[in-house]
Chain A
C-alpha cells in the first residue's frame, strides 16, 4: 500500500482552511474598521491632541507588536527593545541635526542607519548571550539598554544630552508647509506626516503578521512551546532565535525613526529610558502576549488612560489643595501603572485579546459539541 501523493500535511490543511475562511472571518471586518478609524480620524475630530494620540498609538502598536514577536512568539525576554527604538529615533534626529538644513535624503538615510545599527547590535547581543540561560540574556540586554541611556544622556556634544535634539523636516512634511484645505481639514505638514506614519505603520504591522504566519514563524512558536522538541525535529533553533531577535530589533528601530519623524524632537526620556521599556511591557501584557493584535488594544488603552488619568488626577488635586500626601499620590500616576502591572500579571495573564480569543474558542467548542 502506498501513500497517495495528493495527501496534504496537517499544516497544509490548516492553511487551506484559513484561506477558505479568509473573507468571512469577523476578525477581518474588525481589522478593516480599525484601519478606517485611523484613516478617517483627521476628518472626524479636528483636535491636534487626538491626532497626536492616534499617531503615537499607531507607532507604539507596531513597536509593541515587534516586541510580541520576541517575547510572545519566540519566548525571548529582552529588556533592550526601547534601546533599538531609541537608536532609530536618534539616527533621524542626529542626521538632520548635524547635516545642516532639512533635506529629503535624510529620511531614507536615517532608516538605513537605524536598520544597520539595530541589526548589528542585536546580532552581537544574540551571539553573546542567547545560547545561555534566560537570565543572562535579560541581564545583557538590561545593561546594554542602561548603557545606551547613559550615552545619550552624557555624550552632550553629540546627542544634546538631557535637553534632547529638535529638528526640522523638509518640503511638505515641514510644520510650516500648508497647501489649502480638503473637505474642511487643512492640508499641512502635520496631516501629511500623519499619513506617512499610517502607511509605514500598517506596512510594518502587515509584515509582522506575515512573518508570524510564515513557516519560520511556526518554528518560532514551536521553540517557545518546547525548545527541545524543536531541536529534535531538526530545526537549528539558535538560528531561528537570532532571526526573530534581529527582525524585531529592526522593526523597533524603524518605529523609532517614525516616532522621531512624528514628534520632531528626541530626548533620552522619551526614546531611550527604562520608562519606555516598562510602557512597552505593560501595553503588551494588557493586550495579550502572543496575539500580535493585542498590541493595538494595549497601546490604545495605555495612551488613553495616560491622557485621561493625568487630567482626572489633576482635577482631584485642585479640589483638595491642602493634603500634601494626596498631592503626591495624585502626581505619581506611575504608581497606579505599577499596581496595574502586577494585577494584570497575576489575574489576567493572557491579556484582553488572549482572553477574548479563549472565550471565542470555548464557545466554538461548545457549539460544536451541541
Chain B
C-alpha cells in the first residue's frame, strides 16, 4: 500500500517538476528557434541587435510602467517625451559638431558629447514632464478615459511643436566618432554604439532597482504602488511624489529617445508614436508597475522584433502582438504583475 502511495506521490512530484521545468525550457528554448532559418553568425548579430533594442525600449517603458503602477495614469504622451529627447540630442550634437567634437573628436570628446546629450535630454524631459503633470495630468486622476484622451491630445500638440521648431522632415543624426564602426568577435560584428546602449540600459536598470529598493524615496514609491492612501496617511505628500515620478518617467523616455536617435541615426517628428506602441506592449507583457518584469519584457520584445524583422520586416510588429496575446492568455497580469 505504502509503495503505491509513494510512487503516486513521486509521480505527482514528477509531473509538477515537468510543468515547472517545461515552462522554463520552453521559455528559454523558444529563443533558439530562429536558428532554424538563420545561421549562427547572423543569429548572434541579431541577438546583439535585439538586446540593444530591448535596452533602449526599457528606458522608455520603465517610466511608463512606474507612472502606471504608482499613479494609475495611462500616459499616451510618453512617446512625445521620447521624440523631444531625440530632438534635444540631435540639436546638441549638431551644435557640438560645429566645434569638432562629434564627427572628428577624441574619445573624451565623444564620451563628453554623449553625456551632454543625455543630461540635456533628461533635463528637457524632466521640465516637460513637470509642466504636463501640472497643466493636464492633475485634472484627470481617477479617470482613465480622460487620461487617454488628454494625453493623446498632448502627444499631438507636442509632436506638432516639434514640427514647427525643427521642420517636418527626417533628419540625420551624427554618431560621435569613437562610437562609430564595429568590433569583430569571432566573425560576429558588433557595432560599438550597441555596446554603449547595452551598458546604459543595464546601468539604468541597476540604478532604478537601487533607488526603488535601497532609498527612502524608493520605499515611498513602492508603498504608493501598493496603496497610495496609506502612504499619504503616513505623512508623505503623495501629490508631490506623483509629480516627481511623472517627471522622472518623462526624463527617462527623453533619454531613451536620445539614445535611440543616435542608434538609428535618424529622427522624425512622429517617431514617438511608433516607439510608444512597443513600450505599451512591453508594459503589458511585463506587468504594470514592475521594473524587473519590464526589463525582461523589453528584452523579449527587442529580440523577437529583430529575429522576425530580419526575414519579414512587415510582420515584426505582428509577432510582438502575438506574444502579448499569448502572455495575456497565460498570465493575465503580465510576467511580474500583481493581480
Interface residue ranges, A against B (CB under 8 Å): 71, 75, 77, 128-129, 131-132, 134-136, 138-140, 142-144, 146-147, 150-151, 154-155, 274, 278, 281, 285, 325, 328-329, 332, 334-335, 337-339, 341-342, 345-346, 349
Interface locus among B16-24, B101-109, B180-188, B323-331: B323-331
Instruction: Judge whether B277 and A341 touch: CB under 8 Å.
Output: no
Sample (24) of A-B pairs whose CB atoms are under 8 Å apart: A77-B148, A131-B332, A132-B328, A138-B74, A146-B277, A150-B317, A274-B273, A281-B149, A281-B152, A325-B164, A328-B163, A329-B164, A332-B164, A334-B160, A335-B160, A335-B164, A338-B153, A339-B153, A339-B157, A341-B150, A342-B153, A342-B157, A346-B139, A346-B150
Closest to A124 in B: B325
A138-B281 Cα distance, complex, nearest whole Å: 11
CB distance from A289 to the nearest CB of B (A): 9
Closest to B273 in A: A274
Instruction: Judge whether B144 and A134 touch: CB under 8 Å.
Output: yes
Instruction: Judge whether B157 and A142 touch: CB under 8 Å.
Output: no
Q: Which residues of B contact A155 (CB under 8 A)?
A: 314
Interface residues of B in 272-297 (CB under 8 A from A): 273-274, 277, 280-281, 283-284, 288
Residue in B139, B152, B274, B313 whose beta carbon sits within 8 Å of that of A341 in the complex: B152
Residue in A134, A154, A278 whose beta carbon sits within 8 Å of that of B313 in the complex: A154
Instruction: Judge whether B317 and A77 touch: CB under 8 Å.
Output: no
Instruction: Judge whether B160 and A338 touch: CB under 8 Å.
Output: yes
Residue in B274, B283, B325 whose beta carbon sits within 8 Å of that of A128 in the complex: B325
Q: Which residues of A contact B283 (CB under 8 A)?
A: 139
Residue in B160, B284, B314, B317 whose beta carbon sits within 8 Å of that of A146 in the complex: B317
Q: Which residues of A contact B288 (CB under 8 A)?
A: 135
Interface residues of B in 295-335 (CB under 8 A from A): 313-314, 317-318, 320-321, 324-325, 328-329, 332
Instruction: Judge whether B146 and A143 touch: CB under 8 Å.
Output: no
Interface-centre pick from B167, B314, B320 (highest chain A CB count, 10 A): B314
Instruction: Judge whether A345 and B149 touch: CB under 8 Å.
Output: yes
Enumerate the 10 nearest inter-chain pairs by beta-carbon distance, A residue then B residue, closest first.
A338-B156, A341-B153, A335-B160, A338-B157, A342-B153, A139-B280, A328-B164, A345-B149, A154-B314, A147-B317
Q: Which residues of A contact B332 (CB under 8 A)?
A: 131-132
Q: Which residues of B contact A341 (CB under 8 A)?
A: 149-150, 152-153, 156
Q: Which residues of A contact B280 (CB under 8 A)?
A: 138-139, 142-143
Q: Which residues of B contact A75 (CB under 8 A)?
A: 145
Interface-centre pick from B164, B273, B283 (highest chain A CB count, 10 A): B164
Not counting A138-B74, A139-B324, A338-B156, a sample of 5 additional A-B residue pairs whose C-beta atoms are within 8 angstroms of each other reads: A129-B328, A143-B317, A147-B317, A329-B164, A335-B157
A257-B197 Cα distance, complex, nearest whole Å: 46
A345-B152 Cα distance, complex, nearest whole Å: 11
B207 contacts the other chain (Cβ, under 8 Å)? Answer: no
B131 contacts the other chain (Cβ, under 8 Å)? Answer: no
A332-B163 Cα distance, complex, nearest whole Å: 8
Residue in B150, B163, B164, B321 whose beta carbon sits within 8 Å of that of A144 in the complex: B321
Instruction: Judge whether A349 and B317 touch: CB under 8 Å.
Output: no
B130 contacts the other chain (Cβ, under 8 Å)? Answer: no
A274-B152 Cα distance, complex, nearest whole Å: 11
- Mask of B113-147 contacts with A, CB within 8 angstroms, 1/0: 00000000000000000000000100100001110
A75-B154 Cα distance, complex, nearest whole Å: 22
Q: Which residues of B contact A144 (CB under 8 A)?
A: 321
CB distance from A169 to the nearest CB of B (A): 30
Q: Which residues of A contact B167 (CB under 8 A)?
A: 328
A281-B148 Cα distance, complex, nearest whole Å: 11
Q: Which residues of A contact B74 (CB under 8 A)?
A: 135, 138
A134-B149 Cα distance, complex, nearest whole Å: 14
CB distance from A258 to the nearest CB of B (A): 26
B199 contacts the other chain (Cβ, under 8 Å)? Answer: no
Instruction: Judge whether B146 and A345 touch: CB under 8 Å.
Output: yes
Q: Which residues of A contact B154 (CB under 8 A)?
A: 338, 342
B95 contacts the other chain (Cβ, under 8 Å)? Answer: no
CB distance from A96 to the nearest CB of B (A): 24
A346-B152 Cα distance, complex, nearest whole Å: 13
Residue in B163, B313, B321 whose beta carbon sits within 8 Å of that of A143 in the complex: B321
CB distance from B314 to the nearest CB of A (A): 5
A75-B280 Cα distance, complex, nearest whole Å: 21
CB distance from A250 to the nearest CB of B (A): 22
Instruction: Judge whether B284 and A139 touch: CB under 8 Å.
Output: yes
CB distance from A151 to the nearest CB of B (A): 6
Q: Which residues of A contact B198 (CB under 8 A)?
A: none
A147-B9 Cα distance, complex, nearest whole Å: 49
CB distance from A139 to the nearest CB of B (A): 4
Instruction: Judge whether A335 and B161 touch: CB under 8 Å.
Output: yes
B68 contacts the other chain (Cβ, under 8 Å)? Answer: yes
Q: Which residues of A contact B317 (CB under 8 A)?
A: 143, 146-147, 150
Instruction: Judge whether A140 and B156 touch: CB under 8 Å.
Output: no
Instruction: Judge whether B314 and A151 touch: CB under 8 Å.
Output: yes
Instruction: Judge whether A136 and B284 touch: CB under 8 Å.
Output: yes
Interface residues of B in 160-175 (CB under 8 A from A): 160-161, 163-164, 167
